[in-house]
Chains A and B, each alone.
Chain A
Amino acid sequence: MKRRTKVLLSLTLIIAIYVFVYFSELYMDPFIKRILNTGLIYAILGVSLNLINGFTGQFSLGHAGFMAIGAYASALLYMSPETKMSNFFMIPLISPLDRIQIPFFWAIIIGGLMAAGAGFIVGAPCLRVRGDYLAIVTYGFSEIIRSLFNNLQNITNGPLGLKGLPTYTNLWWTVSWTIITVIVIKRIVDSSYGRALKAIRDDEIAAENLGINLFKHKVLAFVVGSFFAGIAGGLLGSLLMTIDPNSFSILFTYQIIMIILLGGLGNITGSVVVGIGFAFLMEWLRFVEMPMNIFGIEIPGILGMRMLIFSILLMVTILFFRQGIFGKVEFSWEGVAKLFQKKKVKE
Chain B
Amino acid sequence: MGWSLFMQHLVNAISLGFVFGLVAVGYALVYGVVKLVNFAHGDVFMMGAYMMFYASVLFGFPWLAAVIFGIALTALLGVGIEKVAYRPLRKYPRINSLVSSIGMSFLLQNFAVVVFGGIQRSFPVPEMMKKTIILGEVRIQSVSIYTIIFSILVVLLLTFILQKTRIGLAMRILSTDFDTARLMGINVDRTISFTFALGSALAAVSAVFYALRYPQIFPFMGQYPGSRAFIAAVVGGIGSIKGALVGGFLLGMLTVLLPAAFPEYSGYREALIFALLVIVLVFKPNGLFGQEAGEKA
Do chains A and B directly touch (beta carbons under 8 Å) in the complex?
yes
Q: How far is the CB of A204 from chain B (nearest CB, A)?
A: 9
Is B95 a contact of A59 with CB atoms below 8 Å? yes
Q: How far is the CB of B268 from chain A (nearest CB, A)?
A: 5
Q: How far is the CB of B287 from chain A (nearest CB, A)?
A: 9
Is A129 a contact of B106 with CB atoms below 8 Å? no
Does B111 belong to the interface (CB within 8 Å)? yes
Q: How many B residues touch the partner, as a band? A: 35 or more
Does B281 belong to the interface (CB within 8 Å)? yes
> Could you say which residues of chain B place their CB within 8 Å of the CB of A308?
107, 110-111, 113-114
- B contact patch SS: helix
Does B278 belong to the interface (CB within 8 Å)? yes
> Could you say which residues of chain A place their CB within 8 Å of the CB of B5?
none
Q: How far is the CB of B77 from chain A (nearest CB, A)?
A: 15
> Could you say which of B99, B109, B114 contacts A257, with CB atoms under 8 Å apart?
B99
Closest to B268 in A: A151
Q: How far is the CB of A219 from chain B (nearest CB, A)?
A: 14
Closest to B275 in A: A144
> Could you say which residues of chain A place their CB within 8 Å of the CB of B118?
303-304
**A258-B271 in contact given A304-B110, A319-B89 (Cβ < 8 Å):** no
> Could you say which of B113, B230, B269 contacts A136, with CB atoms under 8 Å apart?
B230
Is A137 a contact of B99 with CB atoms below 8 Å? no
Residue from A130, A205, A265 whose CB has the most chain B CB atoms within 10 Å: A130
Is A254 a contact of B106 with CB atoms below 8 Å? yes
Is A141 a contact of B278 with CB atoms below 8 Å? yes
Does A167 belong to the interface (CB within 8 Å)? no
In whole angstroms, how far apart are the Cα atoms of A143 and B88 in the complex? 31
Is B114 a contact of A318 with CB atoms below 8 Å? no
> Could you say which of B94, B99, B227, B230 contacts A318, with CB atoms under 8 Å apart?
B99
**A254-B96 in contact given A140-B277, A151-B267, A307-B113 (Cβ < 8 Å):** no
**A140-B274 in contact given A311-B106, A314-B106, A314-B107 (Cβ < 8 Å):** yes
In whole angstroms, how far apart are the Cα atoms of A209 and B297 in the complex? 10
Residue from B88, B94, B109, B281 whose CB has the most chain A CB atoms within 10 Å: B281
In whole angstroms, how far apart are the Cα atoms of A132 and B275 in the complex? 18
Is B96 a contact of A318 with CB atoms below 8 Å? yes
Closest to A261 in B: B99
Does B168 belong to the interface (CB within 8 Å)? no
Does A305 belong to the interface (CB within 8 Å)? yes
> Could you say which residues of chain B place their CB within 8 Å of the CB of A333?
none
In whole angstroms, how far apart are the Cα atoms of A131 and B277 in the complex? 16
Does B73 belong to the interface (CB within 8 Å)? no
**A319-B106 in contact given A140-B278, A144-B275, A205-B297 (Cβ < 8 Å):** no
Does B135 belong to the interface (CB within 8 Å)? no
> Could you say which of A132, A304, A311 contacts B103, with CB atoms under 8 Å apart?
A311
Is B106 a contact of A304 with CB atoms below 8 Å? no
Q: How far is the CB of A134 from chain B (nearest CB, A)?
A: 9
Does A135 belong to the interface (CB within 8 Å)? yes
**A307-B37 in contact given A151-B267, A151-B268 (Cβ < 8 Å):** no
> Could you say which of A144, A146, A322 contacts B96, with CB atoms under 8 Å apart?
A322
Is A319 a contact of B271 with CB atoms below 8 Å? no
Does A169 belong to the interface (CB within 8 Å)? no
> Which residues in chain A, 254-283, are within 8 Å of chain B measured between CB atoms?
254, 257-258, 261, 265
Closest to B233 in A: A136
Does A302 belong to the interface (CB within 8 Å)? yes
Does B158 belong to the interface (CB within 8 Å)? no
Is A304 a contact of B114 with CB atoms below 8 Å? yes
Q: How far is the CB of B84 from chain A (nearest CB, A)?
A: 8
> Could you say which residues of chain A place their CB within 8 Å of the CB of B105?
254
Does B127 belong to the interface (CB within 8 Å)? no
> Could you say which residues of chain A place their CB within 8 Å of the CB of B274?
140-141, 143-144, 147
Does B85 belong to the interface (CB within 8 Å)? yes
Does B186 belong to the interface (CB within 8 Å)? no
Is A258 a contact of B113 with CB atoms below 8 Å? no
Contact bitstring B137-160, A, C-beta under 8 A = 1, else 0: 000000000000000000000000
Q: How far is the CB of B50 from chain A (nearest CB, A)?
A: 15
Q: How far is the CB of B255 from chain A (nearest CB, A)?
A: 13
* Interface residue ranges, B against A (CB under 8 Å): 35, 37, 84-85, 88-89, 92, 94-96, 98-100, 102-107, 109-111, 113-114, 118, 227, 230-231, 234, 238, 267-271, 274-275, 277-278, 281-282, 285, 295-297
* Interface residue ranges, A against B (CB under 8 Å): 57, 59, 125, 128-133, 135-137, 139-141, 143-144, 146-148, 150-151, 205, 209, 254, 257-258, 261, 265, 302-305, 307-308, 310-312, 314-315, 318-319, 322
11 contacts between A and B (CB under 8 A): A57-B95, A125-B278, A137-B277, A143-B270, A144-B274, A144-B275, A151-B267, A151-B268, A261-B99, A311-B111, A315-B104
Known: A129-B285, A131-B94. 16 other contacts (CB 8 A): A125-B278, A125-B281, A129-B281, A130-B285, A131-B95, A137-B282, A148-B268, A261-B99, A303-B113, A307-B106, A311-B103, A318-B89, A318-B96, A319-B84, A319-B85, A322-B89
